Homo-oligomer: A and B are copies of this chain.
Amino acid sequence: MPEFTSVDCAHMARALELAERGQFSAHPNPMVGCVIVNGDDIVGEGWHELAGAEHAEINALRAAGDRAASASVYVTLEPCAHHGKTPPCTEALIEAGVGRVIAAMQDPHDKVAGKGLKMLSDAGIVTELGLMGSAAEALNAGFISRMTRNRPFVRVKVAASIDGATAMANGESQWITGSAARADVQRLRARSGAIMTGIGTVLGDDPSLNVRGEDIDTRGLQPLRVVLDSRLRMPASARMLTLPGRTLLCCTAGQDDRELVEAGAEVSAFSADDERVDVAAVLEDLADREVNDVLVEAGPGLSGYLLANDLVDELVIYQAPHIMGSDTRRMFDTPSWTALAQRRDLEIRDVSQVGDDTRITATIRD
C-alpha cells in the first residue's frame, strides 16, 4: 500500500469534486475527474461530461499543455487502455510525458482491471493506486454494480410521514414532503439511467417520471422510464408516453402490445415469478441497456417486493414531520414477514435536512 501525503489527498479530493460535475450527464459512463499537478501548481483539470465526449484525463492534459511533462496526474478511476468511442487515455498520458499517475480505484471490470496502470508502468511512469478509493467507489456505485454484477444499482426512494405512512388508504398523497424534498428527488432522477415504477402507481397517479428542474443540466438526457406491467394494463393515454424520453413496459409473455407500441412505448416480455414479471430479469436487461442506476419510485407493493427479495442496494427515505395515522399505506408491503427476525437492518449512511423534511440514506445490512 503506497503512502500518500495530505497534498495527495487534497488533489484527489479535488478530482472527485470534478468527477461529480458529470453526475447528471456522464452515464452510462462513470463519473471521472482528473487533476494534473506540476510542482506545487495545478496545471490542468478535467472531468468527463458526456458519453462520446473526451475523458477526464484528456480534458486535463489539454488544459495542462506542455506543463504536463513530468507532472503528477490524479485521476478518480484507472485510465482506460482500450479504444472505445475515444482513443485510450493511457496513450495520451504516455505521449504527454507525465511522471506519475495516482488512481483512486481500478477499472471495475475484471477483464481490464489493472491493464491501464500496467501499460503506464511499462512506459516508465510511476503508478499508485487506492488513494481515497472508497469515496471513488461510492461515487460510481452504479457503474461498478453494472460492471461487476451485471445489474444496476437499485435505489428505492420513499416519501413518508414520521409514522411511516406514504399515502392515505384512499391513495391521497399530494403532498407528504415539501418542495425542497421534491426538488431533491429531481436530482436523484437525473443521476439515474432509469426510473422504475409499478403499473399500480401509473394507474393511480399517472406520473410523468421525467427530470424537471431548471438547475439540473442533463445535457438532454432523460432516464428511461420502466413500468412493471405484467398484464400490460397501461393506458395508451398515459402522460409519460407523451413526454420526451423513452418508456419501457415490462410484461409477461403473450400480452397484446400493439396499441401501446403505437403510442410510443417499448414493450418487452419477461419470465414470470408467480404471475408477476421477474424483476431480477428486468434488472439484468437494464444492465444490458447500460443502465447504471435505477431509481425506484413505486408503491409499497413493488418497493416491498424488492426489499423482501434482496434487490435493494440503497434506500432514500424522505421523512416529513407529520403523523398521518393508521388509515394509511405503508412504505413496504411484505406479506411474507411475520416474525421480528425477518426485519431488515439498515446501515444509515447519511441523514440530512431537506427543507422541513429529513432525508435518510441507508443500505441494507447483510
Contacts and interface: CB of A to CB of B under 8 A. Distances in A.
A195 interface: no
Nearest to A175: B340
A303 to B, nearest CB: 10
Interface string A317-343: 100011111111011111101111011
B321 A337 contact: no
Interface stretch (A2-10, A102-110, A163-171, A224-232): A163-171
A348 to B, nearest CB: 5
Contacts of A340: 168, 172-174, 176, 324
B327 A337 contact: yes
Interface-centre pick from A176, A326, A351, A358 (highest chain B CB count, 10 A) = A326
A238 to B, nearest CB: 24
B330 A343 contact: no
Interface-centre pick from A160, A168, A308 (highest chain B CB count, 10 A) = A168
A162 to B, nearest CB: 7
A79 interface: no
B322 A345 contact: yes
B160 A163 contact: yes
Interface in A177-195: none
Nearest to A158: B163
A161 interface: yes
A28 to B, nearest CB: 30
Nearest to A173: B340
A304 B332 contact: no
A63 to B, nearest CB: 44
Bin the interface of chain A by size.
35 or more
A161 to B, nearest CB: 7
Given A326-B300, A326-B334, A321 B362 contact: yes
A307 interface: yes
A139 interface: no
A289 interface: no
Nearest to A161: B343
Contact of A334 (B321, B325, B331, B343): B325
A335 B168 CA distance: 12
A347 interface: yes
A346 interface: yes
B321 A164 contact: no
Given A307-B325, A325-B343, A327-B337, 16 more contacts: A161-B164, A162-B362, A163-B164, A168-B338, A169-B338, A172-B340, A304-B326, A315-B323, A322-B345, A323-B332, A323-B344, A323-B346, A324-B340, A326-B332, A326-B334, A327-B335
The 6 closest A-B pairs by CB, nearest first: A164-B164, A325-B334, A321-B346, A325-B337, A163-B331, A163-B164
27 contacts: A160-B164, A162-B164, A163-B164, A163-B331, A164-B330, A170-B338, A172-B339, A176-B340, A300-B326, A304-B326, A307-B323, A321-B348, A322-B343, A322-B344, A323-B344, A323-B346, A324-B340, A325-B330, A325-B342, A326-B332, A326-B334, A326-B335, A327-B334, A327-B337, A327-B338, A328-B330, A351-B358
Interface of A: 160-165, 168-170, 172-174, 176, 300, 304, 307-308, 315, 317, 321-328, 330-335, 337-340, 342-348, 351, 358, 360, 362
